[in-house]
């Protein structure tokens, strides 16, 4: 009798929820330290390291449940699925942050961008003001960007993890 193959959707959901929860805890930690509007690249690096760890953990768990076998397509599905679920959680948290926890969040982001532009000295005052107004008026566009970035990153992690961990089932 043949064993049933595990479903990538179940693993995507479970590990996506884990990644989303860890990401929200990290974001709340940044908020509590008033670093949630920081443009510090170390925050992004830490977030990507967390994402890589959880996606690879999900791929390895799936492979283990699948008798040690993993197809590249399964790894890609897992990477994108885990990233999609965690991306939805990230969007919901960002909406909560921007509308409840810190209603001035978009203004702080716009001011940080304006200050960075002024420090670089490559934009005119009119261009800086236009960027500032655009950030405030069109902040909602960041929500689909978060999802797209997460899915693309998840696909890349899934591809690399899949290439490293793939093991085809023998044809009998």
Read off the pLDDT of residues 104-154 as tens digits, 9 standing for 90 and up: 888 888 888 888 777 777 778 888 888 888 888 888 898 999 999 999 999
SS3 102: coil
Bigger pLDDT: 36 vs 18: 18
pTM, full prediction: 0.88
SS3 167: strand
SS3 70: strand
Residue reference for tokens 């953990």: 57
Query: Would you list the DSSP string of 87-155?
Result: HHHHHHHHHHIIIII-TTHHHHHHHHHHHHHHHHT-S-HHHHHHHHHHHHHTGGGHHHHHHHHHHHHHH
Q: Is the pLDDT of residue 171 over 80?
A: no
pLDDT at 50: 97
């Amino acid at each position: 009798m043949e064993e049933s193959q595990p479903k990538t959707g179940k693993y995507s959901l479970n590990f996506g929820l884990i990644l989303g929860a860890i990401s929200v805890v990290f974001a709340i930690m940044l908020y509590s330290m008033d670093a949630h509007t920081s443009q510090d690249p170390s925050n992004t690096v830490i977030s990507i390291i967390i994402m890589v760890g959880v996606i690879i953990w999900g791929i390895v768990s799936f492979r283990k449940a699948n008798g040690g076998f993993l197809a590249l397509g399964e790894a890609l599905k897992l990477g994108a699925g885990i990233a999609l679920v965690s991306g939805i959680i990230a969007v919901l948290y960002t909406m909560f942050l921007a509308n409840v926890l810190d209603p001035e969040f978009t203004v702080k982001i716009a001011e940080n961008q304006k200050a960075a532009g002024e420090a670089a000295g490559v934009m005119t005052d009119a261009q800086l003001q236009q960027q500032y107004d655009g950030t405030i008026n069109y902040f909602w566009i960041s929500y689909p960007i978060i999802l797209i970035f997460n899915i693309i990153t998840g696909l890349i992690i899934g591809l690399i993890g899949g290439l490293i961990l793939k093991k085809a089932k023998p044809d009998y």
